[in-house]
Structure 1
């Protein structure tokens, strides 16, 4: 029936929820593994459902004395629900391919159960109102020929690479005032699509004057398709002032955090214009540029920064990402609170199995458009990133951001070859600066 496309509604606990002495809360019985077995064998989408409501206190009290007394009460509990309203909440269908392949039936079954508890309406929370409530019109586009004219004046070493119809450069605002204006305009345009805009005509601040702008242009037209903003911590912290770091606004960096130990690049404000956001080429060109830059300046062994998690995600999704990815240490702490409380049964699953291998089906349970984790987060994870904390960027429309660091020489060789090209071996062997 299921293999042929039919729907099957299951109550895998086989009984009504009851009081559990070990956890001291009312919850479903352990689910029968048949639900995971059928979904797996039939390669069928799974839709979690949560049915809200409670039986009478007497039902649960008698059940604590002896389970058969609970059974005797069922007929009474059924009849006293006449004219009652029962809320049924459903998640979104999750394809079988999104579940971890190496999870056994017991783990898969408990994950299905956790997904139902994840959508409990009692634990559904809305984002606070955005502090940015008015969007000014975007600034006028900077003519491409003005961008090309500024780029033509850059020293040759700031031309990082050419690839097909594109070129990658880096520079400073004092060298490229109009180009940085255009980058800031495009940043604001892209960030507004993700509910992260500043509301100003351009997304800019005083850090644009002290950070490097790495950007990709079309060679023939000068159109900017994407950019990164990078801070050289050895220069920015030369006077010991942590306020020179943008991310010091979000995080309290302890003396043992990597940016206070050795030269790093603080990465941020990355974007790709819409037509390149779903293509491999855009992200590849930005990272080929980063690779070319660190080959020129091999003292930078570590990259760190944040991946913004748009408030277009549900708060539960952001909390799932945080719990799955973050390894908490005493080296850094967020300056602004972010809190979400999970349903206790879901917490039990997370504690027993962890969430990292199950992020995709959990997010797809919640997100109406089937969003997975952000592409850039996936990218950093492949590079071997360590995720330190989830903070809130008060300068970025209160957008959550996941702080991470990457020890670049330790990244997978396949990716070093891809992004550092012929320079990867020399970079990997470069003598580390004295600390």
Structure 2
């Protein structure tokens, strides 16, 4: 290998540019010898540690000799599948050391691990460690295709038999790209997609923080071979050094099966580089959490007497019972009917919202809007306690009596009258919660939504639902910006959004398509986008469940506003046209006959100037319910 590098150096020093001058003079040769000389030490390290018994320990031994350690969260390490065909893709910032880190990470989860590596690494004399390597020629020169046929077959055979294979799809170290003004991998090889496709492997994205020295990247702009010459020195210096690795969620093959090879690699690159967003705001989040921990929250009020709350719930008229399921009842009530129960709802709201990095900070979450809004309550008959609740505002009635300022969302957004002229009757939804003890399953939330569905069946004029969906302050700032940009790009109601203005618009510029890279072109469904957010958030939190729910109903967004009175939650104003929602989803909350009657009413009573309602789907529903 030293002869190979020496020859390359001689070739570079002999190259000429315009005017007959050499590309690199004698001074450069001396400079590079200082960086290439560490090759002997690197060779010695690999030879020494790879010859010891137990090849699976080689990566850790080499890292120790290099004075290097790595950091990976335990929750990330746990994401490595312990069995089954697996391809691990990673960025390539350093050129060698990250290969040892990747091998160490994978070997801690499973011994059937191999790393696809540059054939030059084999020239270092790594002995028994050859067993964990599949060597390829990534340079694409004359004869490289033929030389790579056997390694490709070996890789497919290994993964197809259930093994794990770590790959750096760029094939060469990350380097400076002037157009993007950053250090990133070159285009990823579609050959990796062939391995994935032929084996049906799960894919695991891994992102390594960091990059090589400015000298490395600066000289690499003169000639790519200069980067290769400097790699030994780059991987031996800066002791001690810690490499930080971030691991995303495993991606099942079925998510990739419908894409061509190029699209597969674009998507995997997106999922990998998306993980760098953790790095960018790690310190910001720690500072914000520290500030939040010192924020003064007043003690929450004591619980209401159970017997008083239960008596109010039992006194509600039968017609206000929306549905019953096992030990649960869902009921509708006014504030005047449930003074004690409403007090308990306010107490439970504050407890629940504080645990979600929201909340008013007051002893109880009750405001003036509660006095004239309707309340949908989920009641546990066996435990005699409130499980959760929603607040409903009949917008047409409220505006007739109190004007636009009578709507809670008017505290967050300024409305023009044209918005409601176009919509007609609408329900404002908000202040939804399920108390923490009942959050282990989705059933309570499903029952609350079913209660709202039954309310709409009885009041079918309320075709439109709208309200503020909170994106709490526990999310990284980058996650909140990504969510807003995603919703603005393809999920805004362009016709109606012009009638809405945020009172406290989010600060900071939009990330925009350029910085989001392939996010817009590769990710369209909210569940796929939620996976991106989940990869960034170290507690694996995806997009808020309510936001996903409304989007599945066809929700569109009208604006975004920060609620400083609710722990700086970012509120997304969503609008759902139930007459345009997927009937199969509506059926979960309305039942088959309920959906049919609602769609028939919507078709008969027109579109309110926004769009056609129903498209004759009620007839299809009739056939299905028969």
Aligned residue number for residue 216 of structure 1: 378
Aligned residue number for residue 501 of structure 2: 333
Give the structure with the larger helix fraction. 2
User: How far did 1:181 drift?
Assistant: 0.5
Distance 1:148 1:80, change over 3 A: closer
- d(CA) in 2 for partners of 1:362, 1:332: 29
- d(CA) in 1 for partners of 2:272, 2:444: 38
Please list the CA deviations of residues 38-95 of structure 1 after superposition, one character each: whole Å capped at 9, or x if unmatched: 45635335132134235436854772x6xxx232354247536764376644223412
Aligned residue number for residue 243 of structure 1: 405
Please list the CA deviations of residues 273-299 of structure 1 after superposition, one character each: whole Å capped at 9, or x if unmatched: 224323232122112211121122222
- d(CA) in 2 for partners of 1:183, 1:278: 20
Q: After the TM superposition, which of the residue ranges 352-361 and 376-385 deviates more from structure 2?
A: 352-361
- d(CA) in 2 for partners of 1:91, 1:218: 42
Q: Indicate the SS of the match to 1:387.
A: strand
- d(CA) in 2 for partners of 1:5, 1:302: 51
Please list the CA deviations of residues 182-205 of structure 1 after superposition, one character each: whole Å capped at 9, or x if unmatched: 111111111121111222222121
- d(CA) in 1 for partners of 2:236, 2:264: 36
- d(CA) in 2 for partners of 1:265, 1:21: 52
User: How far did 1:313 drift?
Assistant: 2.9
Q: Which runs of 5+ in 2 are unaligned?
A: 1-111, 114-158, 610-626
Say if 1:141 and 1:185, in contact at 8 Å, map to a contact too.
yes
Distance 1:90 1:38, change over 3 A: farther
Q: TM-score, normalised by structure 1?
A: 0.86
Q: After the TM superposition, which of the residue ranges 169-178 and 38-47 deviates more from structure 2?
A: 38-47
Q: Indicate the SS of the match to 2:324.
A: strand
Aligned with residue 90 of structure 1, among 245, 260, 284: 245
2:207 equivalent to 1:49: yes
- d(CA) in 2 for partners of 1:325, 1:102: 24
Say if 1:311 and 1:399, in contact at 8 Å, map to a contact too.
yes
User: How far did 1:334 drift?
Assistant: 2.8
User: How far did 1:147 drift?
Assistant: 1.8
Q: After the TM superposition, which of the residue ranges 271-280 and 181-190 deviates more from structure 2?
A: 271-280
Aligned residue number for residue 118 of structure 1: 274
Say if 1:409 and 1:428, in contact at 8 Å, map to a contact too.
yes
User: How far did 1:245 drift?
Assistant: 1.7
Please list the CA deviations of residues 103-151 of structure 1 after superposition, one character each: whole Å capped at 9, or x if unmatched: 3332231222223333336632635444981233322222232123223
Please list the CA deviations of residues 161-191 of structure 1 after superposition, one character each: whole Å capped at 9, or x if unmatched: 2222222211221221111001111111111
Aligned residue number for residue 353 of structure 1: 522
Distance 1:39 1:135, change over 3 A: farther
User: How far did 1:229 drift?
Assistant: 0.6
User: How far did 1:158 drift?
Assistant: 2.2
Distance 1:220 1:15, change over 3 A: closer
Q: Indicate the SS of the match to 2:205.
A: coil
Which of the pair has more CA radius of gyration? 2
Distance 1:81 1:48, change over 3 A: closer
Say if 1:130 and 1:398, in contact at 8 Å, map to a contact too.
no
Say if 1:217 and 1:224, in contact at 8 Å, map to a contact too.
yes
Q: Which runs of 5+ in 1 are unaligned?
A: none
Aligned with residue 402 of structure 1, among 558, 563, 572: 572
Q: Indicate the SS of the match to 1:405.
A: strand
2:266 equivalent to 1:104: no
- d(CA) in 2 for partners of 1:165, 1:82: 66
Aligned residue number for residue 72 of structure 1: 226
Q: TM-score, normalised by structure 2?
A: 0.62
Say if 2:465 and 2:576, in contact at 8 Å, map to a contact too.
yes
Distance 1:348 1:142, change over 3 A: same
Higher relative contact order (CA 8 A, sep 6+): 1
Say if 2:358 and 2:569, in contact at 8 Å, map to a contact too.
yes
- d(CA) in 2 for partners of 1:16, 1:220: 63
Q: After the TM superposition, which of the residue ranges 374-383 and 151-160 deviates more from structure 2?
A: 151-160
* RMSD after superposition: 3.2
Say if 1:37 and 1:105, in contact at 8 Å, map to a contact too.
yes
Aligned residue number for residue 432 of structure 1: 605
Aligned residue number for residue 586 of structure 2: 416
Q: How many residues align?
A: 431
User: How far did 1:230 drift?
Assistant: 1.0
2:360 equivalent to 1:230: no
1:373-384 aligned at under 5 Å gives the runs 373-384=543-554
Q: Indicate the SS of the match to 1:215.
A: strand
